[in-house]
Amino acid sequence: MVSRRQFTLGASALAFGGLTASYFGKVSAASLLQNTHGFGPLVADPNNLLDLPAGFEYQVISQLGEKMTDGFTVPDRADGMGCFGLDEERVALIRNHELHPRDLIKAEQSIKQHKSTLAYDQNINGVALPGGTSKLVYNLKTKTLEEQFLTLVGTVRNCAGGATPWNTWLTCEESVLKAGSGVSKSHGYIFEVPATAEGLIEPKPLTAMGRFNHEAAAVDPRTGIVYLTEDRGDSLFYRFIPNQREQLDQGGQLQALVLKGTTGVKGSQGYDTRNWETQQMSLQEWTDALWVDLDNPESPEDDLRARGFKDGAALFARGEGIHWGDNELYFCCTNGGSKQLGQIMRYQPSAFEGQALEAEAPGRLQLFLQSEDESLYNFGDNLTVTPYGHLLVCEDQYTDVVENHLRGVTPQGEAYDFARLHLQTELAGACFSPEGSVLFVNLYSPTRTLAIRGPWDTFAG
């Protein structure tokens, strides 16, 4: 029997040491403590915003309505975010804003009137659509925000994304809005924003990476292959093999994951990993992976997932956040499992990923976590890795009254509360500074971006 604070998964989860080695180089899986007290009980926040364990503190570094250095105000609906080192003291945060054209109605006046040749798209009045990204430059030493400004405008519902090894942010549109429906261009693309941007960039949709309800992206630093999630109840898991490494705008091949032995060949329908009706996919067990090519990735009929499933691709329950580790990745499926409380999948690529010999030594997928208790884990969305080698998951519940947490998950599959949010909104965009001293996280709406510091090396277990 598992304890109250433990998930239904086993020792095969001992992979976070690889994540830690990849990002922080401090500890190994063998040195991690294996009980579930975490950093101890959460301490009530006198400001009634975010409860944290004793010894931790947060700083609000940016919030909705503040005047930015470019004259605009901080946009709402802060979602996915990436952190990049600029020099020994400063980091850049590239922050998504999940805004729809209709959000212009409630926008600040300068945004309502914003017209720019650098906007990807406009409404019928020529005003730049409000979705996109902003950049924050934060000084880790002085604990001050030095500047913040818009870097991408004219897009729709920039949800999550992913940092690349070449210091850019892939920002993903979670929308398939079509030209003619109050906008002049079709949407559902990925855009690339350099961490060094000094203002608005020229937007270029990465069309070969597919047009669908994009959620998040993760890049394998060994191969340059990009893995993509899709926020739909019948989503697929994708990979993009670029024609030229680090130049995603030069095209490539989009593919969808097939689980070997569950379908067999192209032309048969795919396998259902969601486990909504029956436990088709077992915990802890590995299944070899195949990949099927997807034609016409711009998908004007928004049918990529239907075509992929017909050709054998596996279904997932609302694929969301991804984090890359040491030759493996983890991604959230928000409402997977019989109680639809969420799953986390784990993928290990082939030594020949994307090459002809891949079929002889395929990559493999594992159902790493499946929640059966909403008090432990409920609707995981964005996720990252901590300096001490655990996953940290942002919750995004869909109820009238929410109680969203940052949940820690140990390599042994045990859960603990790292933070509890008091606002009726979601936590999003969790990411660490390159040296691991500061956790940055967004509160979705009204926008707040927090910097969290504390004794990361004193995990109590």
Q: How far apart are the C-alpha atoms of 247 and 444, rounded to whole Å?
A: 31
The structure tokens listed for 448 are 């707040």
The per-residue pLDDT for 121 is: 98
pLDDT of 354-380, one tens digit each? Answer: 999 999 999 999 999 999 999 999 999
**Residue type present at position 29:** A
Average pLDDT over residues 38-66: 96
Element of type H or E holding 22: helix 16-23
Asked whether residue 47 carries a pLDDT value surpassing 60, the answer given is yes
The per-residue pLDDT for 400 is: 80
Q: Running DSSP on this structure, what letter comes out for residue 165?
A: T
Q: How far apart are the C-alpha atoms of 12 and 76, rounded to whole Å?
A: 40
Question: Which ranges of 113-245 would DSSP assign to H, the alpha helix?
Answer: none
Average pLDDT for the chain: 90
Quickly count: other Cβ atoms within 10 Å of residue 283's Cβ. Answer: 19
The structure tokens listed for 5 are 């604070």
The per-residue pLDDT for 36 is: 62
Asked whether residue 398 carries a pLDDT value surpassing 90, the answer given is no
**What ranges do the domains of the chain cover?**
1-60+373-461
The per-residue pLDDT for 108 is: 92
Element of type H or E holding 23: helix 16-23
Q: H helices then E strands: how many in the chain?
A: 3, 26
Listed residue (258, 239, 236) closest to 248, CA to CA? 239
Least confident among 174-178, 312-316, 337-341, 413-417: 413-417
Q: Running DSSP on this structure, what letter comes out for residue 425?
A: S
| Entry pTM | 0.93
The total number of residues written for the chain in this structure: 461
Q: Which residue has the tokens 């991408």?
A: 152
**Residue type present at position 411:** P
pLDDT of 181-220, one tens digit each? Answer: 889 999 999 999 999 999 999 999 999 999 999 999 999 9
- Which phi and psi angles does 371 have, rounded to 5°? -80, 135
Asked whether residue 23 carries a pLDDT value surpassing 70, the answer given is no
* C-beta of residue 362 within 8 angstroms of C-beta of residue 260: yes
The per-residue pLDDT for 460 is: 66
